[in-house]
Amino acid sequence: MTEPASHPDLERLEASVIGRVQGVGFRYHVLRRATELGLTGWVANEHDGSVRCRAEGPRSDLDALVEALETGPAGAVVDRVIVGFGPATGSLGPFGGRSEGHRGD
């Protein structure tokens, strides 16, 4: 199977959010914002208590999603957001929530 072609106008965001981010509606907060921005990807709780996010879209929209990750919903305490950017692959579907510990696209 061949890899999807990269999309030069789009980028991929890989982010991990550390803090009190589970059990406070954090994934729904991210899902709502990513959907408003028209991004593809997913958000998932991790076994270590963090939240992981993978998204693709225009850089300005990804930056807006990072802002949502940094603030979180009421009740969340974000200690740190680890962010990385790379080329988009086009392999992500409509933005959604994933089960805990999800690893693939």
Query: Could you read off the pLDDT tens digit of each residue along the chain, which spans 105 residues?
Result: 444 555 668 999 999 999 999 999 999 999 999 999 999 999 999 999 999 999 999 999 999 999 999 999 999 999 999 999 999 999 999 999 976 655 555
Output the pLDDT for position 1: 43
**Residue 36 belongs to some domain of the structure:** yes
Output the pLDDT for position 98: 77
CA 63 to chain centre: 11
Beta strand 40-45 with 77-88 is: unpaired
Q: 94 by DSSP, 3-state: which?
A: strand
**Residue 103 belongs to some domain of the structure:** no
**Residue 40 belongs to some domain of the structure:** yes
| CA dist., res. 87 & res. 6, Å (int) | 7
- Total domains in the chain come to 1
Measuring CA to CA, how many Å separate 99 from each of 1, 20, 104? Answer: 26, 18, 11
User: What pTM value is reported for the model?
Assistant: 0.87
Q: 70 by DSSP, 3-state: which?
A: helix
| CA dist., res. 69 & res. 62, Å (int) | 10
**Residue 97 belongs to some domain of the structure:** no
**Residue 14 belongs to some domain of the structure:** yes
Range of the domain at 51: 7-89
Catalytic residue among 27, 33, 52, 54: 27
Catalytic residue among 12, 33, 45, 52: 45
Output the pLDDT for position 23: 92
**For this structure, is 27 an active site residue?**
yes
**Residue 96 belongs to some domain of the structure:** no
Strand partners, 90: none
- CATH code of 31's domain: 3.30.70.100
